[in-house]
Structure 1
Amino acid sequence: MNQNQLRNNLVYPKENVYFAFVLLFGILTYIFLAFSLIGIIIGVALILLSIFLHSLMIAGIRRNGVKLGESQFPELYHKAVSTAKDMGLINIPDIYIVESEGILNAFATRFFRRNVVVLYSGIFELIERDAEKEVLFVLAHEFAHLRRKHVTISFLLLPAMWIPFLGDAFLRACEYTCDRYAAYYVNSLEASKNALTMLAIGKELYSKVNQEAYMEQIEKESGFFVWLNEKLSTHPHLPKRLYELTKFFAADSVPEIREPKRKIWLGMIASIVIISGLSAAVWFGVKALEKLDFWAETAMEVEGATPLMKTASDNDIELMEKLLQEGADINEKDSEGSTALHWAVFDGQYEAAKFLLEKGADPNTVDVYGSTPLITAVFMEDAELVALLLEYGADTSYVDSDGYTAYDYAVEYKNEEIIELLK
């Protein structure tokens, strides 16, 4: 490409595509919030809190950071100003250098109506190592964020960050764009590649890195988790940034490199299977707990429980016969509305349930949870007890407090044997 073609294609193609989705989702979200008083209050509160915290951070930088200017590193300052003007920035950003404890980074932001670029000292120190253009690349990258209004529209990005991958995809596209802008206006592909390499390995060793081998890691270091790590990140992986920049400005100098997709697809399929399996296990676990109808605890004392209920739970027919002869009420209920028949059914005691039904126990009593002995038997998936209760007149049309019949529960549990009995 000639210079005009390069300048006209500096914007990474996917940036505008993702921005359209981000803009649409952001506008729709804010419109939705505007129709809710609570939404307006929450939105305003979050905006004010963000402004307050941001102002505190910038205030510390303005006071403690070293501001580039006519009296502070004037040579680099004039080159930075010239680069900003070439990019078309009307208002030249305030540039601050802050101590970073060895961290290599920089960022662009706005403080009310002022553009601000913060450069960490770990990068700025490169001017002492004849790497001024590398420093200018980092500055120009941040200028590009301001030029493209990435900082100004950040409030529109907030709703999109709640959508998996969407907000991050837009931010990654912005990074590619800003890399192109910076390399073009610094007018040094080599320095730009060095600056990106420096972010990977540090300012001491970046000049010794084999950049071609580093870019080949796109193919060699691949797989599902590598792919997912990038998709959940606001920045592309550095070998890809280096490759994309080289391919854009000097396509003939770098071989075609493609990230293998096979491992990614296999990883996605395996993850879906594992997640589905875990979800199914949780679902069945919850259903199993639902079946443990705690209204008839046998390991603990239940208020109002009678000796007849406990003997029914223990399947002690002889003692049950004796208690009835002594005047025990066969349909007496405990504090949870359960009768001796409920207790027998819950514990799967067929002989005790049959004995009680033969002695006149009501098969249609309802406990405080809305369950009849028949529904309890379905819960326990005990087809033999279901058949016994039906034989003694259990009402299949009874609808519990959740709007379900015994048949509905049998269908839910997919128990074909019980479904056939209840048809």
Structure 2
Amino acid sequence: MFSPGQEEHCAPNKEPVKYGELVVLGYNGALPNGDRGRRKSRFALYKRPKANGVKPSTVHVISTPQASKAISCKGQHSISYTLSRNQTVVVEYTHDKDTDMFQVGRSTESPIDFVVTDTISGSQNNDEAQITQSTISRFACRIVCDRNEPYTARIFAAGFDSSKNIFLGEKAAKWKNPDGHMDGLTTNGVLVMHPRGGFTEESQPGVWREISVCGDVYTLRETRSAQQRGKLVESETNVLQDGSLIDLCGATLLWRTADGLFHTPTQKHIEALRQEINAARPQCPVGLNTLAFPSINKEVVEEKQPWAYLSCGHVHGYHNWGHRSDTEANERECPMCRTVGPYVPLWLGCEAGFYVDAGPPTHAFTPCGHVCSEKSAKYWSQIPLPHGTHAFHAACPFCATQLLGEQNCIKLIFQGPVD
């Protein structure tokens, strides 16, 4: 949909305007089976050749299903709020020349720009993690970007289907606001968290909120799909900021603005850091063999790959001894300091969008062993991510594994060459 050829139409002589990017948490630079078409781990939103945004216009109160159908078949975008069997409010939407709309959801139908499926945690293998029933909505949310500077991006719950309609059935949470306009929530909700202080080394986690179909901000419901909505938070808006997290109940997306990405380390920078570590020839303190981070993520651990004891941070090569008991297969005793804990291979975090700074990769998440800069590790270690219908926990952004341990991450202790 956004091939370079198309992007050039709107600006033959200059770079197309990029509004920002959505990055799916839990993937380290690409989907396990490769990025394909609209289904990928990272999605860039560019200014469209022609505006496709819509804004609310006429409101109809209808007492028969036939009349409701007649309006929804007019070929215009509309949102239908079913209040009872014999009363539906239909809000027609008209073209908005000043905005571009992008839709996200599980459906592969054409109105969806970015197809998102349930994220499988890195702690599960694909065999045990067959998703029986997805909790992500087919038309989950829409992001509307202003076509003029400063290119503000706003998020709304629910997306328009192939008939250009959004239907909120009898059971969906919906209401009429004091000013008379209708609004509602989707079944499992669209949650958003804006970090305090932007997406930088100094950032702190914000508070998770729910976004309504019309873009208002509410406190969370008691459970994800409860009928009763939370309280309106009038002081907050649905404007996305650099580092905003969007949770679709099954997948969490990170929003990076074009300006934020400009100040983020690039893939080339991360590759240079990898080569720098390897050039220092870190050694296994026991076997004295040289260790090296592999250039790409592989299913199979390489012979020279660094391993670490995650309780103390000592980096070793692989060895098959130090088990404390048969019951804890992954618990080993570090030969350097005798600390007992998980012993795992280390993998470099390759998705540049998750880094809050350009520091060297010195820290590993526990228990998965993904390595990134200290400030990035500490930032993600304190972010509570939605899990299931009412739980929150910190997770590794590169593989979605739930973090454990006192700090959720550990400083790595490398040994240089003895010669």
TM-score range for the pair, normalised by the shorter chain length = under 0.3
If asked which structure has higher relative contact order (CA below 8 Å, sep 6+), I would say: 2
**For the pair shown, which has the larger CA radius of gyration, 1 or 2?**
1
The structure carrying a bigger strand percent of its residues is 2
